[in-house]
Amino acid sequence: MTSPIRTERHDEVLVIISNNPPVNALGAAVRQGLEAGVKEGLADASIKAMVIRCDGRTFFAGADITEFGKPMQEPGLPTLVDMIEASDKPIVAAIHGTALGGGCEVTLACHYRIAVPSAKIGTPEVKLGLLPGAGGTQRIPRIAGVPLALEMTAKGDPISAKRALDAGLIDKLAGEDNLEADAIAFAREVADTTPLPRASQKTATPDPDAVAAFKKENAKRFRGFEAPAANIACVEKASDGSTYAEGVAFERQEFMKLIMGVQSAAQRHIFFAERQAAKIDGVPADVALRPIKRVGVIGAGTMGGGISMNFLSAGIPVTIVEMAQEALDRGTGTIRKNYEASAAKGRMKPEQVEAAMGALNPTLDFEALKDCDLIIEAVYENMDVKKEIFGKLDAIAKPGAILASNTSYLNIDEIAASTSRPDDVLGMHFFSPANVMKLLEVVRGAKTAPDVLATVMALAKTIKKVAVVAGVCHGFIGNRMLMPRQVEANKLLMEGATPEQIDRVHVEFGMPMGPFQMSDLAGVDIGWHRDPTRIENIRDALAAEGRWGQKTGKGFYDYDEKRNPTPSPRVAEIIKEFRSKSNLAKREISDEEIIEKTLYTMVNEGALILEEKMAQRASDIDVVWIYGYGWPVYRGGPMFWADTEGLKKVVAGLEKHGFKVAPLLKEKAESGGRFN
């Protein structure tokens, strides 16, 4: 096999070059080639300095994570970076694109670093439940100090070349298009430097105040995660007077704990699951896509406006249609307000706001949709209304235009049947707020054409969404699994649990909020029949009294002016009244029972979804729940979590409470199988 590493001589400078597309991942062949390149430079008396650089779009963007869980081929990354640092000839890292993870650790081991202004450098291992395992947690604080080391390792966001230069992580900026020549010139400049600057020989100053402030500031972000705490502990170790060797031994110990743990396995599972979700069963990878040059959106409400923003931000013009001028003005006003809020936070430039708004065509004329390549209907959940709209679209839309509904529950095949072109119809279920939430459920109808499905899945990437293919069933994947959770949570209220107990169990599990907090945030009145005299359940009773959630200051909880919740005596009374009407005795409900009834039932529903082929794979269900509903990523999604709980335990929990167990779940439990 040809090595992905080659060397080129420039007089007394040896340039070691990696060409391992797409991102120069530090796989075994790359590590072996780098080792050979450095040895070549050391063995040649006429070479005075070396430069490490990469071909293609980026410097080393990280380890090859397909090697995780397999025996490491030598040299391992820690051995390689120590060898680079130990060189008695200066080695310069020449950085473009991103130097991430192992790539960042290679640069830290080099004696000098030069980067183009657009480069970024970072250690995102924490996002896979890990830490930089080749001395990164020890070298960064020694070069750049404790505060920046905490931010880079425990949060994992990359920093710009300019910031890295100011912090001393980079020594020099190169010309944007002149990296190699500038790096070689820099290598010549430092060729005779003695002693060489080595990160491991520097000392990090302890900064307990910075550590305490960092922990406090990020407490909410880090809640439930193990890896941030391990990264923080390693950075503290680098600055507590320990030798570099002691720090690296501590880092190795923490790394091994994490890589053998469930959380990192869960986070790596989601990393791969997200990529897998983009693959469509039964559709050739090379199917020709339909061009999407203009998008139409019907409805300028919260969903329609948010959906439009996704396309406008990606530079795709949008025609948005409403029935009344007031609704249209309100919708476009909200879009502008959202963009201006982003600009005020520095996330957009004012000219980008104007460009996005300039690409929006707000109109009351339905006929204006005739030029659109994709039209998304985003009106309220009413089948008759949707069928009427699609009937009209059928007459107006140009041949080959894709027609999509943003329905969360309704039958796409029934909607498609109201047109003469059901092969052009599918569901595009965005999650609210649509301009923020990353998930997109793409609903494949019985007659949806393969190129229509492939086009929308590819388009999802363009608008920065994580798309999952779903089949046609009530609620698709996410909402269908949400239903048993909500039903069982309400039954538990009737039997003696309180909204705050059920919500606390879900938050302690890692959810951003529990079922009743979610109901109050979304609006208790959503989907309510609007008849205050018709009270059939607890929710009807709350809605009839105007307890519509946070927006009215009271729902399942009472809220103060800052929307802080407190348990509501009135809600306790309403629950008690319903309990006595149903002749149910109040009993003690354990936290374990809440988990079994609200979360095991979701897994059971997920198994039915897989059996019915409404999801392509178990990992797709996990992606839906991570990106659409805030399932904790360190638990890897409901199906991965069920595997880690043990499917026998899940089945036993369901059977104990009299639930009918999905055949697929039962079969896997009995055979010792797993979903993932």
Would you state the pLDDT for residue 285?
Answer: 87
DSSP 126: G
User: SS3 breakdown of the chain: % helix, strand, coil, rounded to 5?
Assistant: 50, 10, 35
Give me the catalytic one of 40, 67, 74, 125.
125
Instruction: Provide the whole-model pTM.
Output: 0.94
Would you state the pLDDT for residue 664?
Answer: 98
Would you state the pLDDT for residue 182?
Answer: 98
The span from the CA of 550 to the CA of 558, in Å, is 8
The span from the CA of 441 to the CA of 457, in Å, is 10
Tokens of 638: 């409901």
Q: Is 125 a catalytic residue?
A: yes
CA distances to 215, 563, 618 from 352, in Å: 35, 33, 39
Low-confidence ranges of the chain (pLDDT < 70): 1
Q: Is 105 a catalytic residue?
A: yes
**Nearest residue to 611 via CA among 661, 670, 672, 671:** 661
Tokens of 669: 């439990």
The span from the CA of 111 to the CA of 113, in Å, is 7
Q: Tens digit of pLDDT for each residue in 32-82? A: 999 999 999 999 999 999 999 999 999 999 988 778 777 889 999 999 999
The span from the CA of 200 to the CA of 248, in Å, is 10
Contacts of 106 (CB under 8 A, 6+ apart): 26, 34, 52, 60, 80, 81, 84, 93, 99
The span from the CA of 240 to the CA of 110, in Å, is 24
Would you state the pLDDT for residue 333?
Answer: 97
Would you state the pLDDT for residue 381?
Answer: 87
Would you state the pLDDT for residue 660?
Answer: 98
Neighbours of 136 (CB within 10 A): 30
Parallel/antiparallel/unpaired status of strands 402-405 and 425-430: parallel
Do 313 and 356 form a contact (C-beta atoms < 8 A)?
Answer: yes
Tokens of 139: 């070298």
Taking the CA atoms of the chain, what radius of gyration do you get in angstroms? 28
Starting at the earlier edge strand, list the strands of the sheet with 120-122.
98-100, 120-122, 159-160
Q: What is the DSSP string of 285-338?
A: TTPPPPP---EEEE--SHHHHHHHHHHHHTT--EEEE-SSHHHHHHHHHHHHHH
Instruction: Look up tokens 């293609």; give the residue.
Output: 56
Contacts of 592 (CB under 8 A, 6+ apart): none
Give me the catalytic one of 85, 105, 251, 254.
105
Q: Tens digit of pLDDT for each residue in 272-287? A: 999 999 999 999 989 9
Contacts of 327 (CB under 8 A, 6+ apart): 300, 301
Do 449 and 420 form a contact (C-beta atoms < 8 A)?
Answer: no
Do 549 and 521 form a contact (C-beta atoms < 8 A)?
Answer: yes
The span from the CA of 239 to the CA of 206, in Å, is 5
The span from the CA of 602 to the CA of 621, in Å, is 11
The span from the CA of 310 to the CA of 461, in Å, is 11
**Nearest residue to 218 via CA among 208, 228, 209:** 228
CA distances to 238, 240, 309, 431, 456 from 627, in Å: 35, 39, 19, 9, 18
Amino acid, single-letter form, for residue 657: H
